[in-house]
Amino acid sequence: MAGERITAVRLGSRIRARAEAAAVEAFTAGTCGHPDNGFVSALDPAAGVWCPGCGDDPVRDLLLTYWCLMCEHPARAGLTQAEAGGALVLLRTCGCCLTADSPNSP
Ligand SMILES: [Zn+2]
Ligand SMILES: [Zn+2]
């Protein structure tokens, strides 16, 4: 995961629901077993919960994903992270989906 840009923003409720669903699915699939695990890919939650050392494949797949996970628009640059269900879920989304239904939107 070295050198990749990860952005923290206030997320909308739709994307948080997506992240929570991914976290549940990943914990059902299992963890890599290392003490610093806690990362989940929203693109492939069936890969389970992994640590940075085990996350090369799911992170690469995320970074190679051109499209937003939630609509048909191109994703914004970098990864988005969302805390959900005790994990840190990594997502690719466009700018609109990132903050859709945010409690802070006008
Ligand atoms: Zn691991
Ligand atoms: Zn989108």
Find the angle CA(94)-CA(53)-CA(97) to the nearest 5 degrees.
Answer: 10
Does residue 48 lie in a domain region?
yes
- Contact (CB, 8 A) for 63 and 76: no
Structure confidence by residue, pLDDT tens digits, 35-68: 999 999 999 999 999 999 999 999 999 999 999 9
Residue-number span of the structural domain to which 40 is assigned: 6-87
Ligand 2 centroid, distance to 34 Cα (angstroms): 33
pLDDT confidence bin for 102, thresholds 50/70/90: low
Tally of domains in the chain: 1
The helix (H) or strand (E) run that includes residue 17 is helix 13-29
pTM (2 d.p.): 0.85
Ligand number nearest to the C-alpha of 30 = 1
Ligand number nearest to the C-alpha of 68 = 2
Does residue 45 lie in a domain region?
yes
Ligand 2 centroid, distance to 82 Cα (angstroms): 15
- Contact (CB, 8 A) for 93 and 44: no
Q: What does the block give as tokens for 26?
A: 């990943």
